Each structure stands twice: as structure tokens, then as C-alpha cells.
């Protein structure tokens, strides 16, 4: 009964967020345009090696798709007192955070799916194991949405959320093997890259699209982040109430 | 059983005591007012009672449940109208009410019926498909109040419910609050509008700097002044406020050019006023005596200056 009530709360928050924020025409059009522009700019720069970049582009689309909206939605609601309304309801903090991060996950899934579609249809990329690919895509979006939620619950203002998001987003593009494989980087960068979830997403996508190999460890690490980051967000969110 | 029972409740924000060892009880079906200036601890107390923050010390039970150990049960039994109208701008009135009803686990079976009843009750039917952002402040407050009632709470917490509303909207909202009370809903109201507390509340707690100074009925608070008449004086032209110190009286305060003198010896106060006015060549326009109001009682009991209350009102309105 209690679980059913929590799930009802999660679903209500997800449904409301999609309707009130994510599925607004400007966001949807940005969500579709962003991967197209990204793919187009890379294809003009280097038409030959684009398939090699496909895993990084998909991971990057997920990273930006989830974190860009997620952090803003939470901090905006915090600012106008709407998040307080959720805290007043008979559901726990975990349900609020899960509801919130699922909104970011759905939006990120849409953007990264558009990017996947582009890489397959227009760039000729192939997916070797569709089931594993969908799993990695899902985990990638959950992990980065949770990262966005963690940033949002840690700050007060929308601009702080955006600034803090950029602090980790842009270094991640360079440290996580999006453009340059991790093995070709200096030792220190390689170490830093191994601490970031995007590295495992790019690695897994690469294993499923470009260099066929087992992605078991990547999956395990992504699942670990999937549990750890939302947990941290819930702890931080609950502490804010004290 | 009391609807709300608070014992030695304190809340510290670092070194600042926002709420300082308060105790009170609210009876079922009562309209209980929390009256005090900004920073008195009204909102912090509400936040503790509705589970938004935890107390540093003390106990609080709402609807018979502990606000720390059984907060989920508390939340199922209370409705909250925060000071800010914090529903979702992009959703329509109906979508907002539907969303809140889901959060409170209102059965899907009767949900639409309840929403329609609330729309009718609050005269919102014609606005039901309008986005929340497009509503006037008064309508927004009505929707927020409707949202707080969607799950049929036993106790309603209202934090400055009429703050920022025009006179007609505020009056309409007070009528609704009064009707809810008649239907057995316990109401915990915070306000710094003294007249509002006088109109709505069965009992009032006066709160200053985190402490409760007195709890009584509005009439009881007025009687605490022993029915001493208040001298109200209006002046002509400009004058130096420093002369107020020379007037005899327990409370001498100036608001909107009107001087209020509360004194056990009203004749002595009048004599001193006339003497000082003559010495300083200040012309009097009008002098009258009136019965003490709740505002006078509040000022006498709390020592809060009328000016500070006025600044607060202006800031809010």
C-alpha cells in the first residue's frame, strides 16, 4: 500500500514535470535541434571519422539533454516555492527526487534517441546488440539526470545550477573519451576520466557500435552510479529540510 | 483530544532562536491565530508543524501524531496554504488540482467529483481551463486554498492567507475560511493583519521574538487593557516627534499622523498633552476617546511599535 502510494507520487511528479516543463514546444525543438546541429558540425569538420565519434555524440547528447533541464527545473521550483508543495505531500524525499530525475531521464532519452537515429540513418553507424544498447542508453540518462538533480539540490539559484553544471559538463567532454580515446590521454587525465560516469557510457557505446567487445564492467559501474548519485541527492535534499 | 499540541518547542537557526520554547494547544474545530510581526517565528512554527523543518527541542503533535516520528500520518491529515501561491503556472486550474489530489493519494474513483465540488465551492468553474499563471492574485489564492482541501484535511494551516490581496478578494477569502471553520475544519492561521485575526479567530497567540506573550480570545485580549479608553489625537501642520516623549501615558504611538495614548490616568495624559502642545505651539485638530481595539491590546502586550507593524503592512500590500 505504502509502495503503491510512493509510486503514485513519483508518477504524478513525472507527469506534471513533463507537462509543465519538458514537453513545452521550445524545449522539444531544442531537444531535436541540439543533436542534429551537433552531428552536422562534426560531420562537416571530419566526414571520414564520424562513425568513430558516434558513441561520444550519443553520450554527450544524453549528458546535455538530462542535465540542462533537470538542474533548472529543480532550482526554479525551489525558488518559487513549488518544491515545498511536494515536500508537504505524504510522500518521502526519495520519491520526490526519483520523480524529478525521471523527468530529466525521459527528456534525455528523447534527445539521445534522436542522436542515435541520426548516427544510424545518416552516418551509417551500426548497433551490434540493440538490447544492451537500450540498457546503456537508459542507464546513461538516469545517471546524468541524477547528477543534474544532485547539482540542483546543492544550490539555491537557477544561475548557480547552470554554472555548477558547466563545471563538470565541459571537462567531462574532454576527460571521458568523447573525442579522444582515454588510452591516448596523459595518466592524470586518464585517472580523472575513470572517476566520471560519462567515460563508462562512451566506452559501452563504443563497445556496442564501433569496437565489438564485452561491456560488463561498464554496465556494472553505470549501475553503481545509478544507485549512488540518486542516494546522494536524496541525502542532500533531506538534510536541506533540517 | 487536541488538534494541535505543542510543548516547549524551539528552533534555532545556528545561534538565532527563531522559536523559543513555546507551548500551546489548539482545540478541534477552533480557528487559532498566530499574531506577530515579521521574524516573530510564525512561519517557522508552521514549518515545524507541517513537517518542512525539524524542531531543535520540544514536542509537537498534530491530529494526534508526532511531527517527527509520524510525519507521514500528519501530512495525510493536514492541508497547507503557504504564504506564496506556489502552484504550477503552466498547468490549468483543473490540472493543478488533479496533480495535488494524486500527490495526496485521493482515490481515482472520486477524484474528478471532488475537483468539481471544489471548483464550485470556490467559484472557480469558469476558470478551470485557465492556466494558473493567467489568474489574478485573488483567484490564485482561492485555487491554492482549494488545493489544500482536495484530500479533505482535518486541520488547515494558513500562512498569511490574505497577504497581497485587494479588499474584495481578502474579504471573500475570509468568508471561505469562516465557512470551513463552521464545517468543523480546525484552522491554524498566521497573520500580521490584526483586524483579520480579530474577525476570524476564536483564540489568538501573540508571538514576539520567538516567544508567546499571551494566548486568549480577541475579547479577552482587549479586556486585558481593563477597558481603559484610548485617546486619539489629530494635529494640524508639521511638528517634531520628540515632543511625544513629554506626554504622560503607558503607550504613546504615532501612526499616519494620528497619536494614540493608552493610559490608566487618561485625564493626566490629556493635561500633559495640552500643556506640551501649547508650549511647543502645536495645533490640535481633533481629540476623541475610543474603546481599545485588538491592535491596542497587541501593542500594549507586545511592546511592538505601530510604526514597525505599518512598515510591514506596506511591505506586504
User: Which residues of B are less than 8 Å from A92 in CB distance?
Assistant: 72
Tell me the residues of chain B between 14 and 73 that have a Cβ less than 8 Å away from chain A.
50-54, 72-73
Strands (E), B36-102: 57-62, 65-66, 78-81
* B13 and chain A in contact, CB less than 8 A: no
In the predicted structure, residue B255 carries a pLDDT above the cut 80: no
Which residue, chain included where needed, has cell 475544519? B185
Cβ separation A11–B51 shorter than 8 A: no
Which residue, chain included where needed, has cell 534527445? A111
In the predicted structure, residue B314 carries a pLDDT above the cut 50: no
In Å, how far is B131's CA from the nearest CA of chain A?
11
Tell me, letter by letter, the H, E, C secondary structure of B289-316.
EECCCHHHHHHHHHCCCHHHHHHHHHHH
* A128 and chain B in contact, CB less than 8 A: no
The cell for B315 is 511591505
In the predicted structure, residue B280 carries a pLDDT above the cut 70: yes
In the predicted structure, residue A174 carries a pLDDT above the cut 70: yes
Instruction: Give the three-state DSSP class for A211.
Output: coil
In the predicted structure, residue B308 carries a pLDDT above the cut 60: no
User: Which residues of A are less than 8 Å from B87 in CB distance?
Assistant: 82, 85
Provide the pairing of β-strand B251-255 with B211-216.
Answer: unpaired
User: Which residues of B are less than 8 Å from A5 in CB distance?
Assistant: 105
* A16 and chain B in contact, CB less than 8 A: yes
Cβ separation B53–A19 shorter than 8 A: no
Identify whether the C-beta of residue B52 lies closer than 8 Å to the C-beta of residue A241: yes
Q: Which long-range contacts (CB under 8 A, 24 or more apart) does B250-259 make?
A: B250/B300, B251/B296, B251/B299, B251/B300, B253/B299, B253/B305, B253/B306, B253/B307, B254/B306, B254/B307, B255/B306, B255/B307, B255/B310, B256/B310, B258/B232, B258/B233, B258/B234, B259/B231, B259/B232, B259/B233, B259/B234, B259/B235
Cβ separation B104–A90 shorter than 8 A: yes
User: What does the pLDDT look like over A14-43, one tens digit per residue?
Assistant: 999 999 999 888 887 877 787 778 777 877
Cβ separation A80–B90 shorter than 8 A: no
Instruction: State the helix-helix crossing angle for A50-80 and A197-209, rounded to 10 degrees.
Output: 140
* A84 and chain B in contact, CB less than 8 A: yes
Identify whether the C-beta of residue B16 lies closer than 8 Å to the C-beta of residue B39: no
The cell for A180 is 579522444
Q: Distance between CA B317 and CA B311 in Å, rounded? A: 10
Tell which residue, B37, B50, B45, B42, has the closest CA to residue B11. Answer: B45
Task: Look up the pTM and report it.
Answer: 0.83
In the predicted structure, residue B38 carries a pLDDT above the cut 60: yes
In Å, how far is A100's CA from the nearest CA of chain B?
14
Residues pairing with B234 in the sheet:
B258, B286
Instruction: Give the three-state DSSP class for B36.
Output: coil
Which of A8, A21, A84 faces B86 most closely, judged by CB atoms?
A84
Element (H, E) at A160: helix A158-175
Element (H, E) at B33: strand B31-35
The cell for B248 is 504622560
The predicted pLDDT at position B316 comes to 38
Which of B54, B82, B105 faces A84 most closely, judged by CB atoms?
B82
Instruction: State the helix-helix crossing angle for A158-175 and A50-80, rounded to 10 degrees.
Output: 160
Q: What are phi and psi of B64, to 5 degrees?
A: 90, 0
Which of B75, B82, B102 faces A12 most closely, judged by CB atoms?
B102
Q: Distance between CA B56 and CA B46 in Å, rounded? A: 14
Residue range A154-180: average pLDDT? 85
The cell for A174 is 574532454
Residue range B282-295: average pLDDT? 80
Strands (E), chain A: none
Cβ separation A12–B53 shorter than 8 A: no
- Residue B226 — very low, low, confident or very high, per pLDDT cuts 50/70/90? low
Nearest residue in A to B14, CA atom: A242
* A239 and chain B in contact, CB less than 8 A: no
Which region, left, alpha or beta, applies to residue A204 given φ > 0 means left and ψ of -120 to 50 means alpha? alpha
DSSP state of B57: E
The interface predicted TM-score of the complex, written ipTM, equals 0.87
Query: In the predicted model, what is the mean pLDDT of chain B?
Result: 86
* A27 and chain B in contact, CB less than 8 A: no
The cell for A80 is 518559487
Residue A27's CB is within 10 A of a number of other CB atoms, namely 16
Which of B75, B84, B89 faces A89 most closely, judged by CB atoms?
B75
The predicted pLDDT at position B305 comes to 59
Element (H, E) at B25: strand B16-26
Establish, for the pair of chains A and B, how many residue pairs have beta carbons separated by less than 8 Å: 66
User: What does the pLDDT look like over A196-213, one tens digit per residue?
Assistant: 999 999 999 999 998 888
Query: In the predicted model, what is the mean pLDDT of chain A?
Result: 89
The predicted pLDDT at position A72 comes to 87
Query: Following CA atoms B142, B186, B76, A94 in sequence, which dihedral angle do they give, to the nearest 10 degrees?
Result: 70
The cell for A82 is 513549488
Q: Distance between CA B266 and CA B258 in Å, rounded? A: 17
User: Which residues of B are less than 8 Å from A86 in CB distance?
Assistant: 103
Cβ separation A89–B103 shorter than 8 A: yes
Q: Please, which residues have CB within 8 angstroms of residue A181's CB and are 6 or more apart in sequence?
A: none
Amino acid at each position: 500500500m505504502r509502495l503503491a502510494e510512493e509510486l503514485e507520487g513519483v508518477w504524478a511528479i513525472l507527469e506534471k514535470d513533463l507537462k509543465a516543463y519538458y514537453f513545452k514546444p521550445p524545449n522539444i525543438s531544442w531537444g531535436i535541434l541540439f543533436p542534429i546541429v551537433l552531428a552536422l558540425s562534426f560531420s562537416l569538420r571530419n566526414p571520414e571519422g564520424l562513425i568513430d565519434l558516434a558513441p561520444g555524440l550519443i553520450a554527450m547528447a544524453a549528458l546535455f539533454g538530462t542535465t540542462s533541464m533537470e538542474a533548472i527545473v529543480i532550482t526554479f521550483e525551489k525558488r518559487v516555492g513549488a518544491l515545498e508543495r511536494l515536500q508537504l505531500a505524504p510522500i518521502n524525499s526519495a520519491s520526490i527526487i526519483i520523480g524529478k530525475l525521471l523527468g530529466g531521464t525521459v527528456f534525455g532519452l528523447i534527445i539521445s534517441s534522436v542522436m542515435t537515429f541520426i548516427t544510424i540513418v545518416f552516418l551509417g553507424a551500426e548497433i551490434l546488440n540493440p538490447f544492451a544498447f537500450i540498457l546503456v542508453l537508459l542507464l546513461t540518462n538516469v545517471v546524468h539526470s541524477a547528477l543534474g538533480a544532485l547539482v540542483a539540490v546543492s544550490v539555491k539559484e537557477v544561475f548557480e545550477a547552470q554554472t555548477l553544471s558547466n563545471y563538470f559538463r565541459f571537462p567531462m567532454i574532454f576527460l571521458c573519451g568523447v573525442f579522444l580515446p582515454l588510452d591516448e590521454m596523459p595518466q592524470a587525465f586518464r585517472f580523472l576520466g575513470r572517476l566520471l560516469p560519462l567515460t563508462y557510457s562512451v566506452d559501452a557505446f563504443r563497445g556496442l557500435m564501433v569496437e565489438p567487445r564485452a561491456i560488463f564492467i561498464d554496465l556494472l559501474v553505470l549501475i553503481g552510479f545509478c544507485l549512488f548519485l540518486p542516494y546522494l541527492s536524496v541525502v542532500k535534499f533531506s538534510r536541506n529540510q533540517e | 483530544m487536541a488538534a494541535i499540541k505543542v510543548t516547549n518547542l524551539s528552533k534555532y537557526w545556528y545561534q538565532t532562536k527563531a522559536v523559543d520554547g513555546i507551548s500551546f494547544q489548539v482545540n478541534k474545530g477552533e480557528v487559532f491565530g498566530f499574531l506577530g510581526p515579521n521574524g516573530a517565528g510564525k512561519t517557522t512554527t508552521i514549518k515545524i508543524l507541517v513537517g518542512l523543518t525539524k524542531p531543535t527541542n520540544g514536542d509537537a503533535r498534530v491530529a494526534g501524531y508526532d511531527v517527527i516520528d509520524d510525519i507521514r500520518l500528519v501530512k495525510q491529515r493536514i492541508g497547507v496554504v503557504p504564504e506564496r501561491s506556489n502552484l504550477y503556472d503552466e498547468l490549468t486550474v483543473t490540472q493543478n488540482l488533479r496533480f495535488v489530489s494524486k500527490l495526496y493519494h485521493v482515490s481515482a474513483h472520486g477524484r474528478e467529483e471532488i475537483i468539481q465540488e471544489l471548483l464550485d465551492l470556490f467559484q472557480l468553474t469558469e476558470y478551470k481551463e485557465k492556466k494558473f499563471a493567467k489568474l489574478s492574485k485573488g483567484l490564485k489564492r482561492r485555487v491554492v486554498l482549494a488545493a489544500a482541501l482536495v484530500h479533505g484535511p482535518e486541520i488547515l494551516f494558513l500562512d498569511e492567507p490574505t497577504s497581497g490581496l485587494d479588499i474584495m478578494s481578502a474579504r471573500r477569502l475570509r468568508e471561505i475560511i469562516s465557512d470551513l471553520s463552521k464545517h468543523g475544519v480546525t484552522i491554524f492561521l498566521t497573520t500580521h493583519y490584526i483586524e483579520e485575526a480579530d474577525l476570524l479567530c476564536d483564540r489568538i497567540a501573540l508571538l514576539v521574538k520567538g516567544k508567546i506573550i499571551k494566548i486568549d480570545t480577541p475579547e479577552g485580549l482587549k479586556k486585558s487593557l481593563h477597558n481603559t479608553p484610548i485617546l486619539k489625537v489629530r494635529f494640524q501642520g508639521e511638528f517634531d516627534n520628540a515632543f511625544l516623549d513629554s506626554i504622560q501615558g503607558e503607550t504613546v504611538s504615532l501612526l499616519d499622523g494620528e497619536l494614540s495614548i493608552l493610559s490608566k490616568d487618561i485625564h493626566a495624559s490629556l493635561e500633559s498633552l495640552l500643556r506640551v502642545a501649547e508650549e511647543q505651539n502645536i495645533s490640535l485638530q481633533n481629540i476623541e476617546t475610543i474603546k481599545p481595539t485588538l491592535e491596542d491590546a497587541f501593542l500594549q502586550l507586545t511592546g511592538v511599535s505601530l510604526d514597525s507593524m505599518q512598515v510591514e503592512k506596506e511591505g506586504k500590500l
